[in-house]
């Protein structure tokens, strides 16, 4: 009886002091990691990605099928190119949902195109568009990202879609 009582006390003390890991605590930590990732992206703090992303971070996106990202350094370079195109880019998180090792986001991307985007010259126009992503967390870092958005909406807001008559001929 005394052993059961002592075991019960140990569990109670662990719960009260936070020594026992709880699934909800881990899920909140995963969401906080995504909030930190978003803050680093918004401020252009690429060095923060060294702590936030695994070295072999992988990004998947049908919205940019020709862009392959299979490392933290490749992702940093991609983000730097986005910042060149839209120096005032901002991600606003609307919703975060966590389950297991995944965090889903519904967010808004906004910015003004003052730099070139691939073959497109700067338009000076602003965009605000919703997107969704799913992050996979591994040992406290982001290991993978699946991200999708509506390219036609974004290109339309930038004045790049539909193509002008001279571009389509």
Domains and CATH numbers, the chain: 23-158 (3.10.450.50)
Residue 163 pLDDT: 77
Positions in the chain whose pLDDT score sits under 70: 1-22, 164-169
Are residues 148 and 131 in contact, defined by beta-carbon separation less than 8 angstroms? yes
Residue 10 pLDDT: 53
Residue 24 pLDDT: 86
Are residues 105 and 137 in contact, defined by beta-carbon separation less than 8 angstroms? no
C-alpha torsion 49→50→55→58, nearest 10: 0
Strands 90-99 and 126-138: unpaired
Q: How many CA atoms lie within 13 A of 129 on its CB side?
A: 18
């Amino acid at each position: 009886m005394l052993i059961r009582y002592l075991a019960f006390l140990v569990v109670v003390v662990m719960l009260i002091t936070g020594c026992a890991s709880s699934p909800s605590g881990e899920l909140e930590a995963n969401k906080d990691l995504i909030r930190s990732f978003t803050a680093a992206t918004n401020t252009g703090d690429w060095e923060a990605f060294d702590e936030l992303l695994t070295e072999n971070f992988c990004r998947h996106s049908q919205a940019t099928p020709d862009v392959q990202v299979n490392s933290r350094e490749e992702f940093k370079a991609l983000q730097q190119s986005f910042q060149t195109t839209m120096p005032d880019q901002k991600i606003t998180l609307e919703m975060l949902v966590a389950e297991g090792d995944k965090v889903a986001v519904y967010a808004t991307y906004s910015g003004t195109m003052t730099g070139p985007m691939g073959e497109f010259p700067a338009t000076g126009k602003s965009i605000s568009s919703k997107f969704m992503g799913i992050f996979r967390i591994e040992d406290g870092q982001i290991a993978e990202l699946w991200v999708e958005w509506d390219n036609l909406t974004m290109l339309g807001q930038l004045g790049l879609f539909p193509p002008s008559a001279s571009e389509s001929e």
